[in-house]
Amino acid sequence: MEGSGHVTADIDAGESATGSMDSGEDGAGARVVGAHLTLAILFFIVAIIGATIAAYQLAVPGSLDGIAFLSYGRLTPIVTSLFLYGWLTLGFLAAVHHVLPRVAGRPLVATITAHLSMALIAIGVVVGSIGIAFGQSEGRPYLEMPLYADAPIIVGLALAAFVATRNVAPSRERMVPAQWYMLAATWWAVLAVLIGNVPGVTGFAGAMQTGFFRAAITGFWFAAAGIGLIYYLIPRIVGTPGPMRASSLSALGFWSLAVVWASTGPVMYIYGPGPGWYETVGVAFSIGLLVPVLIIVADFFVAMRGQWLHVTERGLLSFILLGAFLFVLIPVQNLTQALRTSSAAVQFTEWVPAADTLAYVGAFSLWLFALAYDIKGPGAAGTERATWHLRLSLVGLFIILAAMWMGGAVTGFTWAAGANSGEFTSFGDGWAQVDNALAPYLSIRAIGTGFFAFAQILLLSVVIGRSRKDAALAVTEVPPLDLEIAGEPGSPSWTSLRFGVVALFFLALVLTVLLPAFDPEVDNGTVLGDRDRVYPEGSMVAAGRAVYIEEGCYYCHTQEVRPIIPDVGLGQVSRAGDYVHETPALPGVERLGPDLMHVATRYSNAAVLKSRLIDPRGSRSWSIMPSYERLSDEDLDALTTYLMSLR
């Protein structure tokens, strides 16, 4: 019978067939959650240490030039992968496996499958990070791990979605918001990672695929799972019996989030080489993103009625509400990068990594901290160490964000000032003006990152330092779901949820990837693309491009000239057809160094360029570029040949 505490054929082989709430089964579920969370936190600590080292290299250029895997261009994608797939993915899967069975008032089923899912994802993260460290990056931001590492992650996510589905199934006729979000999130995660890793997408269409993946993994996986977690935690903290029930407000928030978030992907390419209507889609949906976020946060606040005086007394509420505040800032930041006026000033600056920091290190991490303290047991978040963990983390986070926002604005206005005045250019010796303006903010960012990393020692001391037995006992039960009052008119049914989340995912995919990919502007090569941007297999220029990707040069250099004042003097404006023969296309992420779209036009001979790759501060003491003296002569010659082909 659905909704009862019994399970019939819904149990993995090897698990109890009765499904009763005995301590052994509850302990098995707690061990699944504890293992996921422990691994997630370990990946988080490694990622934060890596981020601190990367930030230090920007503040103190040349400090780690001789160590390949610690170079900024290789370490940054490793940190990103550890954060996305190690910390956030395993952390939110811990939330899914913790919340769904307790909402339904039953033990976690399919625990063997859940353990296998965790193992596959962890293996993929470790193998993929090692692959990037040894130069096997795919060259696509957020998707750098090689396919042999992506494969176990995709399978692991599919198994996790299967586990989530089985734990929701008994109460599928009357689900609550925590169940909608978490079940949808697990399947959205599978679809996002699967579509993002479809190989062989050439030209600017591949860049649009990357933009879609970034929006989908952020909104459809991390945000949705985090929202589901908060719908579960708030009633527990404020003392409401059972989980938050469905309402018209919660249903509106869910469906509007599903419609809007993944279609904000074009924000990465405002003023870019894509079709004009593609950018308009990104702007429109970025404006619309404010709607679901505000609705969802309003629903949280409704649930907090009469409890505001107890925020400081209940430590978990501090983590949740501060995370919700940062969550509201995500669409504000996104809109700033989407609107053409503000985008002209902040695109390709420190505002780009600030958006990821705000979401991944800010809102979503704070919510996972709340989960960790909730699993630790009542009162854990109110301990002195947990309080200081929150305070120090926030100090570090806001130092990082302030440095990025201010540094990004200063950089953008410096580019514009040089172009307007004609006193200096945004390349060559003129780049000294940019580096000197940005240098103080890079130092402040490094300090903030180190501060945030130091704060996580307290997280380890509170959460990790306990026995397996304590982990099982710390889990407290919630009242079973009352199927008669769980839903309201307009709440997603089991059928609408299954088909709706898939349909809306593919609607966003069609709108922001498939349709623009077949636009003639994207599909047809330009003279530049057909003549100079062709890389025959086995050629020196192809080998040099491979070195460029291995070293992550696209994290500091763009290859995209925009039709705006800050890019005046950089050469011919980029068009989508310029990249038609490139796999992957390399428009870049951020300009910590000059744009390289037409870099060969600025060098009289290859020898000068090669000498700057070997000793970047030899003639330009202000340069923050790492030395590539550690590369072999063959790789240096190939990299130089590739750069000299960019005309």
Query: What is the predicted pLDDT for the residue at 627?
Result: 94
Task: Tell me what pLDDT residue 485 has.
Answer: 42
CB 335 within 8 A of CB 286: yes
Burial of 618 (0-12, 13-18, 19+ CB in 10 A): exposed
Q: What is the mean pLDDT of residues 51-78?
A: 93
**Band of pLDDT at residue 4, cut at 50, 70 and 90:** very low
pLDDT digits (tens, 9 = 90+) for 222-241: 999 999 999 998 887 776 65
Q: Yes or no: say if 452 and 429 are a contact pair by the CB < 8 Å rule.
A: no
Task: Concatenate the DSSP letters of all residues of 200-216 into one string.
Answer: T--HHHHHHHHHHHHHH
Domains, the chain, ranges and CATH?
Answer: 23-517 (1.20.210.10), 524-644 (1.10.760.10)
Confidence at residue 460, expressed as pLDDT on a 0 to 100 scale = 84
- pLDDT attached to residue 94: 96
Specify the pLDDT at position 474.
Answer: 42
Q: How many Cα neighbours within 13 Å face the side chain of 231?
A: 31
Mean of per-residue pLDDT scores for the chain: 88
Position 219 pLDDT exceeds 80: yes
pLDDT confidence bin for 458, thresholds 50/70/90: confident
pLDDT score at 595: 97
Q: Average the pLDDT over 285-306 and give the result.
A: 88
Phi, psi of 158 (to 5 degrees): -65, -40
Rg of the chain taking only CA atoms, in angstroms: 25
Q: Above 80 in pLDDT, residue 490?
A: no
In the predicted model, is pLDDT for residue 304 greater than 80? no
Q: Is the predicted pLDDT of residue 72 greater than 80, yes or no?
A: yes
The sign of the CA dihedral 138, 587, 571, 537 is: positive
- More confident position, 13 or 599: 599
Q: What is the pLDDT of residues 150-165, one digit of tens each?
A: 999 999 999 999 999 9
- The reported pLDDT for the residue numbered 19 is 34
Give pLDDT, residue 351: 96
Under a CB-based contact definition with an 8 Å cutoff, are residues 168 and 176 in contact?
no
pLDDT in tens, 101-140: 988 888 999 999 999 999 999 999 999 999 999 999 999 9
Q: Is the pLDDT of residue 312 over 70?
A: no
Mean pLDDT (whole number) for 169-173: 79
Between CA 457 and CA 389 the distance in angstroms is 8
Question: What pLDDT sits at residue 462?
Answer: 75
**The pair of three-digit structure tokens given for residue 323, joined into one six-digit string:** 């995370």
300, exposed or middle or buried, with CB in 10 Å at 0-12, 13-18, 19+?
buried
What letter does residue 615 receive in the DSSP assignment? -
| Angle in degrees, CA 624, 628, 629, rounded to 5 | 125
Question: Mean pLDDT throughout 73-97?
Answer: 97
Please give the Cα distance from 450 to 272 (Å, whole number). Answer: 34
Q: Which pLDDT does position 301 carry in this prediction?
A: 82
Q: Are 136 and 165 in contact (CB under 8 A)?
A: no
pLDDT at 465: 58
Amino acid at 232: Y
Q: What's the pTM value of the predicted model, to 2 decimals?
A: 0.91
Per mean pLDDT, which of 99-103, 245-249, 446-450, 615-619 is the most reliable? Answer: 446-450
Predicted confidence (pLDDT) per residue in 406-449, tens digit? 999 999 999 999 999 999 999 999 999 999 999 999 999 999 99
For the ranges 154-168, 261-275, 305-319, 610-624, which has the lowest average pLDDT? Answer: 305-319
User: In whole angstroms, what is the distance from residue 434 CA to residue 348 CA?
Assistant: 13
Residue 177 has pLDDT above 60, yes or no: yes
pLDDT more than 70, % of the chain: 88
Say which DSSP state 65 is in.
T
Q: With 50 as the cut, is the pLDDT of residue 469 above it?
A: no
pLDDT class for 9, splitting at 50, 70, 90?
Answer: very low
Which pLDDT score is estimated for 374? Answer: 86
Each residue of 10-43: pLDDT tens digit?
334 333 333 333 333 468 888 999 999 999 999 9
**Token pair 């949906």: residue:** 285
Mean of pLDDT values over 350-356: 96
Whether residue 480 is preceded by a cis peptide bond, meaning omega within 30 degrees of 0, is no
Mean pLDDT, range 547-568, rounded to an integer: 96
Helix axes of 384-421 and 364-376: crossing angle, nearest 10 degrees: 170
pLDDT at 311 over 60: no
Mean pLDDT of 339-347: 94
Alpha helices in 197-314 (DSSP H): 203-216, 224-238, 248-260, 276-288, 290-303
The CA distance from 457 to 511, in Å, is 44
- Tell me 462's DSSP state: I
